[in-house]
Structure formats: structure tokens, C-alpha cells
Amino acid sequence: MIPMATRPAAGRAVKSEKFGVPVWRVGKPDAVLAAEVQVARDALLSIAKSEHIGAHIAARSEGERVTTQLFECKLPGYAGWQWFAVLARVPRSKHATVSEVGLVASVDSVIAPEWLPWSERVRPEDEQLDESEAVTEGIDEPEA
């Protein structure tokens, strides 16, 4: 269960109090799972180096007996991103099971702009630059 979120618009962050967790899931996290910070950190070590995992940020409820532990990401180039580990447990158990680990964008993340096909990215001024470069290099223009 990856923490669901409304992604911020490309190039800018959208402030939201409950970013990363759907409103219907926000509630008090399971006490047993919320206490398992070290289990979550150990699980993250399977995909990241210890120096890239920062301080524990929060434990968020994802539903009954399912909690997401969030950690600061110190990976270069991922400012504002957060490591997550989803923990779950069966009824009447005190043992946490790691369901999923990964990296998720937060409201403060720098993310790439939305992708556009090449044909939509080329602007008239780009074509003018190509023509002027061809003239300076002495290359004949292709006939249309």
C-alpha cells in the first residue's frame, strides 16, 4: 500500500495538511505498529543506505492494523522526499509485518515537470534558432 496522495502540480508544491494519506484513512495509528519505528527503519535498509535515511517524521494510519512510518530522505537530489515503510499486523498479534517500502514525494518535494511529447515541446522560436544555425554553418535548408 503506497501512501496515496494528490501529486503536486509540476514545478510547484501544493500545501495540504494530510498529504500522502487519503482523508478517509486519517486517524489514530495502531499503537503496536506506531511503536515499531526500528522495524520500519531496518526494512528501509534493504533499499537504501543508512546515511540516506533521516529522522523519523510520523506514523500515519492507513486503515485498521495498517500504519505507514515516514522518514526524512537525505538522498542527494531528493529534497523534500520521504522514505516510507508500510507495516501491518493480524488481529491480536503484537508482531509487525513489513508490507512495502519505498520513496514518496511530499508537499515540499522538487518534482519534474509533466512530460510533453517532442512534437508539443517544439515552439516556433526553437525552429527559428535551427534556421539561423543552418545559415551560419552554410547548410542549405531542406525544401518543404
Beta bridge partners of 103: 83
**Virtual CA dihedral for 95, 97, 98, 100, nearest 10 degrees?**
-140
pTM, two decimal places? 0.63
The answer to whether residue 46 sits within a structural domain is: yes
Sheet holding 97-104, edge to edge: 53-63, 66-73, 82-88, 97-104
Structural domains in the chain (count)? 1
The answer to whether residue 124 sits within a structural domain is: no
**Statement: residue 16 has pLDDT above 90:** no
Q: Which structural domain range is residue 45 located in? A: 23-113
Element (H or E) spanning 87, and its range?
strand 82-88
The answer to whether residue 58 sits within a structural domain is: yes
At 3, is the pLDDT very low, low, confident or very high (cuts 50, 70, 90)? very low
The answer to whether residue 96 sits within a structural domain is: yes
The answer to whether residue 16 sits within a structural domain is: no
The answer to whether residue 56 sits within a structural domain is: yes
pLDDT (average), residues 22-26: 53
pLDDT digits (tens, 9 = 90+) for 84-107: 999 999 999 999 999 999 999 998
At 131, is the pLDDT very low, low, confident or very high (cuts 50, 70, 90)? low
Mean per-residue pLDDT of the chain: 80
The answer to whether residue 18 sits within a structural domain is: no
The answer to whether residue 48 sits within a structural domain is: yes
